[in-house]
């Protein structure tokens, strides 16, 4: 039912009053009453001791837990900053490769997984980042794996990146340092990803044949096809404390051989004890140690082998 007199008296005056209330007063009240959203990335739980770590403190300590010394996984960009330090570095553009060559689909499309990975690490990137600069005063090329990109898996783009890093090292007469953090070959690229194993070995050989140092810094995790190729043929093999390094996972091995594996199996320290790793280096000492090793390899006085042995005897 329409009320004639109200239409005549105040249809125009009534509405603006409501607009003023809903558009101006209500949002103000809501802004005062509503709780401010708390960013959920201020604290990180340490995977080693489960202590909550404040993000700024964690960053200042190079993402190493102050409580238990656990080395948390870091991105490629952080890795480059740690290795090159204040000297800075220049990232190189990597060759474009075939995208989704098999048009692969498992539970989800590979193209979607790639897009998701790029959202995490930046458009146009894949699982390996390459940069050059100086470490300890020596020209150095670093290829660092990005675990956030599909578990650092090695497909064509990653293989191509390692190869590009090797070529750049040869061109600049620089040392090559590769820092793997990878679950292994990228199954979405099938045999093409397995072909990156011999390709990356050839890349390492290219550097060695020129008499340039090839150093590998094994980080958590280095497994599968990556550990079965370029990651295990370094002139010097370093590892971060506690890093898982192996080919097949411990559970798979236990189920296959029906035996309990020893404590610390596939950890950096275990591999050091068994001669597979030359040094276990805490992250805070990494740049200084790498610089010193490069010095010994490039200016070998006294004989490099003896000097490297002397470093490994130092308490870390």
Candidate segments 43-51, 147-155, 231-239, 270-278, binder of Zn ion by CB under 5 A: 43-51
Candidate segments 44-52, 183-191, 214-222, 229-237, binder of Zn ion by CB under 5 A: 44-52
65 binds Zn ion (CB under 5 A): yes
166 binds Zn ion (CB under 5 A): no
Candidate segments 65-73, 104-112, 182-190, 243-251, binder of Zn ion by CB under 5 A: 65-73
Instruction: List the one residue out of 133, 176, 182 whose CA is nearest residue 158.
Output: 182
Asked if 182 contacts 224 with a C-beta cutoff of 8 angstroms, the reply is yes
286 binds Zn ion (CB under 5 A): no
Query: In this complex, which beta carbon is closest to Zn ion, that of residue 71 or of residue 298?
Result: 71
Asked if 102 contacts 187 with a C-beta cutoff of 8 angstroms, the reply is no
Question: Minimal distance in Å, beta carbon 55 to Zn ion?
Answer: 14
Question: Minimal distance in Å, beta carbon 109 to Zn ion?
Answer: 38
Residue from 44, 48, 269, 311 that binds Zn ion (CB under 5 A)? 48
Task: Give me the DSSP letters along 260-277.
Answer: PPPTTTTBHHHHHHTTS-
Category of 65 on φ-ψ map: left (φ > 0), alpha (ψ -120 to 50) or beta: beta
71 binds Zn ion (CB under 5 A): no
Provide the sign of the torsion angle of the four alpha carbons 233, 214, 287, 167, taken in this order: negative
Residue from 23, 67, 310, 316 that binds Zn ion (CB under 5 A)? 67
Candidate segments 3-11, 57-65, 139-147, 232-240, binder of Zn ion by CB under 5 A: 57-65
> What are the beta bridge partners of residue 178?
143, 216
**In 144-195, where does DSSP find H-type helix?**
156-172, 190-194
Candidate segments 27-35, 64-72, 79-87, 196-204, binder of Zn ion by CB under 5 A: 64-72
Residue from 25, 68, 171, 288 that binds Zn ion (CB under 5 A)? 68
CB contact burial 178-212 (16+ within 10 A = b; e otherwise):
bbbbbbbbbbbbeebbbebbebbbebbebbbeeeb
Per CB under 5 A, residues contacting Zn ion are 46, 48-49, 65, 67-68, 70
């Amino acid at each position: 039912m329409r009320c004639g007199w109200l239409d005549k008296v105040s249809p125009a005056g009534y509405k603006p009053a409501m607009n003023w209330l809903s558009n101006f007063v209500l949002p103000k009240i809501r802004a005062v009453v509503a709780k401010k959203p708390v960013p959920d990335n201020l604290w990180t739980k340490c995977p080693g001791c489960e202590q909550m770590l404040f993000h700024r403190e964690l960053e200042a300590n190079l993402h190493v837990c102050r409580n238990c010394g656990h080395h948390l996984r870091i991105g490629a960009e952080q890795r480059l900053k740690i290795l090159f330090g204040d000297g800075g570095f220049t990232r190189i553009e990597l060759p474009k490769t075939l995208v989704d060559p098999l048009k692969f689909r498992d539970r989800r499309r590979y193209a979607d997984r790639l897009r998701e990975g790029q959202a995490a690490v930046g458009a146009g990137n894949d699982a390996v980042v390459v940069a050059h600069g100086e470490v300890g005063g020596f020209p150095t090329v670093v290829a660092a794996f990005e675990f956030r990109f599909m578990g650092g898996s090695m497909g064509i783009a990653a293989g191509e990146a390692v190869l590009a890093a090797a070529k750049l090292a040869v061109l600049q007469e620089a040392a090559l340092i590769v820092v793997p953090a990878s679950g292994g070959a990228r199954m979405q690229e099938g045999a093409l990803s397995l072909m990156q194993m011999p390709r990356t070995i050839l890349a390492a050989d290219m550097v060695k044949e020129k008499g340039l140092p090839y150093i590998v810094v094994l980080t958590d995790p280095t497994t599968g096809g990556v550990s079965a190729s370029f990651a295990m043929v370094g002139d010097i093999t370093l590892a971060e404390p506690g890093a898982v390094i192996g080919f097949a996972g411990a559970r798979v091995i236990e189920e296959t051989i029906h035996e309990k594996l020893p404590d610390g199996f596939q950890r950096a320290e275990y591999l050091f004890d068994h001669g597979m790793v030359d040094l276990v280096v805490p992250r805070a000492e990494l740049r200084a140690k790498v610089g010193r090793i490069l010095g010994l390899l490039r200016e070998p006085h006294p004989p490099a082998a003896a000097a490297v042995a002397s470093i490994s005897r130092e308490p870390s």
